[in-house]
A = this chain, B = another copy of it.
Amino acid sequence: MSQSGRTVSITDVAAHAGVSHQTVSRVLNGHPYVSVRTRDAVESAIRDLGYRPSRAARALAMGSSRSVTVLASNTTLYGYAATLQGIEEAARMKRLSLMISVVDSLDADVIQAAVSSVSDPRSGSVIVIAYDQVGLRTLQALPQDIPHAAAIGRSFSSTTRQKPDPRWVWLADYDAAFAATQHLLGLGHRTVHHVPIPSWTKDQREGGWRAALRQAGVEVPELPAPGWDARAGYQAGQALARDPDVTAILCGNDDLALGVFRALHEAGRRIPEDVNVIGFDDAPQSAFLTPSLSTVRLDFVGLGRACFDVLWAQISNMPAPSRIPLAIPQLVLRESTSKK
């Protein structure tokens, strides 16, 4: 392995093997029509020299770099991480390399900078995880001529008139929240309270909850401050726990529900005897909480894969996948809800 000087290039390999660099390129790319002798010679030269091809040079010559960049405001929250996992698995299958760029500010310059750095249409494609407002803005700032797809957090089910972009993929949040709220009302609660995740349109989880209440003709309670994690759920839960009228709570995700559990427990209110709670996501821990958490199972990994499929159709010039088989959100009933 040549340690000194510059790194070994295809030309060095060629010289070492006594062939032209084009021939080396051929064996590198598994072309047919290379004699066995030559192939062997090249391969051992590669080994001797410890040659590793330059991705940059290859990308330049081929006009594309077989890479996807994921743009997201977060990579650790359950929904984001699981979506990322789905994208990663799908990208790996197709041998695309995965880049990730976190955009965590609503500042227009920050968003613009992030978008610019991926906006080289020769060098790749983009997937935006647009579950939050930063994500949505990022998606909007993305030049339309670059191949891309997006996972978004809405369903368009009943509220929207505008046609969704065919490059967008989503889970039916709205419908699922609607159904979960209906389920709680069906248990006999006078109304259902909600601890929201941040949202920016009315056709997401919060919207589904609101619509179900309105349809049932019941009071729509005030909302606590939105948040993503257990701490936010705990804080929202403390106020709810004090209010004896609160008997059913739909949480915007399972982490919030976990915090709500804690607040209710501290206030001496039992779950499910005094208060019913439903979460959202079905995170891996939720089935093992005490009480186990009723929740809406969302297939984020599948969504990530679907997102990649949409992207892949553009990259490979295949027809867009007509219908992506996405698991329907499903209400999973466990111990935290029960007949009242």
Contacts of A75 on B, CB cut-off 8 Å? 75, 81, 84-85, 88
Decide if A88 touches B65 in the complex (CB within 8 Å).
no
Whether B76 contacts A145 by the Cβ 8 Å rule is no
- Measured CB to CB, the closest approach of chain B to A84, in angstroms, equals 6
In contact, B120 and A284 (Cβ under 8 angstroms): no
Q: Which of A's residues lie within 8 Å of B, judged by CB?
A: 1, 3, 7, 50, 52-57, 59-60, 65, 67, 75-76, 81-82, 84-85, 88-89, 92, 97-102, 116-117, 119-123, 143, 145, 229-231, 233-234, 255, 258-259, 261-262, 265, 284-285, 287-290, 292
Check if A100 sits within 8 Å of B100, measured CB to CB.
Answer: yes
Evaluate contact between A99 and B101: CB separation under 8 angstroms: no
User: Contacts of A117 on B, CB cut-off 8 Å?
Assistant: 97
Q: A57-B60, A229-B284, A265-B290 are in contact. Are A102 and B88 (CB under 8 A)?
A: yes
Rounded to whole Å, the gap between the CB of A332 and the closest CB of chain B is: 15
Q: Chain B's nearest CB lies how many Å from the CB of A273?
A: 15
On whether A52 and B285 interact (CB within 8 A), knowing A75-B84, A92-B102, A290-B265, the answer reads no
Would you list 21 pairs from A and B whose C-beta atoms are within 8 A, ordered by A residue?
A1-B143, A1-B145, A3-B145, A52-B119, A52-B120, A53-B120, A55-B65, A56-B59, A56-B60, A56-B120, A88-B100, A88-B102, A92-B101, A92-B102, A97-B99, A97-B117, A98-B99, A230-B288, A261-B288, A262-B289, A289-B289
The answer to whether A56 touches B123 (Cβ under 8 A) is yes
A100 near B98 with CB under 8 A, answer yes
Cα-based distance from A116 to B84 in the complex (angstroms): 23
Query: Cβ of B98 and Cβ of A101 under 8 Å apart?
Result: yes
- The count of identical subunits is 2
Q: Which residue of B lies closest to A254 (CB)?
A: B285
Name the one of B255, B259, B288 contacting A233, with C-beta atoms under 8 angstroms. B288
Q: Chain B residues with Cβ under 8 A from A97's Cβ? A: 99, 101, 117
Which residue of B7, B85, B262 is within 8 Å of A76 (Cβ)? Answer: B85
Q: Chain B residue with minimal CB distance to A65?
A: B56
- Chain B residues with CB below 8 A from A292, complex form: 262
For A113, give the chain B residue with the smallest CB separation. Answer: B95
A116 closest partner in B (C-beta): B52
Chain B contacts for A60, CB-based, 8 A: 54, 56-57, 60
A96 to chain B, nearest CB (A): 11
Partner of A290, one of B54, B102, B261, B288: B261
- Min CB gap A15→B, angstroms: 19
Residue with the highest number of chain B CB atoms closer than 10 Å, among A88, A89, A284: A284
**Alpha-carbon distance between A158 and B306 when the two chains are bound, in angstroms:** 49
Listed from nearest, the 9 A-B pairs whose CB atoms lie closest are A56-B59, A230-B288, A262-B288, A56-B60, A76-B81, A230-B285, A52-B119, A55-B123, A265-B290
Q: Which of B1, B101, B122, B230 contacts A56 (CB 8 A)?
A: B122
Instruction: Assess whether B288 is in contact with A259, with CB atoms less than 8 Å apart.
Output: yes
A264 (CB) vs chain B CBs: closest residue: B290
A122 touches B289 (CB 8 A): no
A92 to B100, CA, bound (A): 10
Closest residue to A290 on the B side, CB-wise?
B265
